[in-house]
Structure 1
Amino acid sequence: MRLNSKGQVTIPADLRRKYALEKGDEVDIVEVGTALQIVRREGALRRGKRLTEHMRGRATTSMSTDELMELFRGRT
């Protein structure tokens, strides 16, 4: 890996998959002895949780859950 002019590095895709790192995840760089470690930020929300928190309370429908399920399943 090479540090770019902005001090950024790219974590290889296989490592991102292995450690379930996704776009928007928060990480910290921690000094351990003479090495640096990339660690997931403690308490940071995962992508799915961020999305659900963002969407919570935004629904504008007056339909019940059962009505919505019927609509999605194509039963009317």
Structure 2
Amino acid sequence: MRITTKGQVTIPQDVRDFAGFQPGTEVEFLIGDDGVVRVVAAGGGVAERDQRLGAAIAGLRGSADTGLSTDEIMALTRE
């Protein structure tokens, strides 16, 4: 991998997937006491995203009340 004259580098897809980086993800560069440079998602990264997703799902739970029983819904899906 090379850094361009503009200081840009392409993060490999497998690394982006592992880190949870999506287009538009804000990142920070951290320099550890050990001299290692780390790239992390600003604001917590994957753990924070998972926490927000869990909260969103919990907020939606029970919001699709159709007035039908589970058996009635299952019957509709089998038709």
* Structure 1 residues not aligned, in runs of 5+: 50-76
| Structure with bigger gyration radius | 2
Q: Which has the higher helix share?
A: 2
Corresponding residue of 1:2: 2
* Identity of matched residues, %: 36
* Structure 2 residues not aligned, in runs of 5+: 53-79
Partner of 1:39: helix, strand, or coil? strand
> Hey, which bits of structure 1, 4+ residues long, moved more than 2 A?
43-46
Instruction: Kindly state the Cα deviation for residue 43 of structure 1 after the two structures are TM-superposed.
Output: 5.9
RMSD over aligned CA atoms reads 2.2
1:21 maps to 2:21: yes
Instruction: Kindly state the Cα deviation for residue 7 of structure 1 after the two structures are TM-superposed.
Output: 0.7
**C-alpha distance 43-14 of structure 1, shift in aligned 2 (>3 A):** closer
TM-score scaled by length of structure 1:
0.52
Instruction: Kindly state the Cα deviation for residue 42 of structure 1 after the two structures are TM-superposed.
Output: 1.6
Structure 2 counterparts to residues 1-76 of structure 1, below 5 A: 1-32=1-32, 33-42=34-43
Instruction: Kindly state the Cα deviation for residue 11 of structure 1 after the two structures are TM-superposed.
Output: 0.6
**C-alpha distance 16-43 of structure 1, shift in aligned 2 (>3 A):** closer
- Taking the aligned partners of 1:16 and 1:8, their CA distance within structure 2 comes to 15
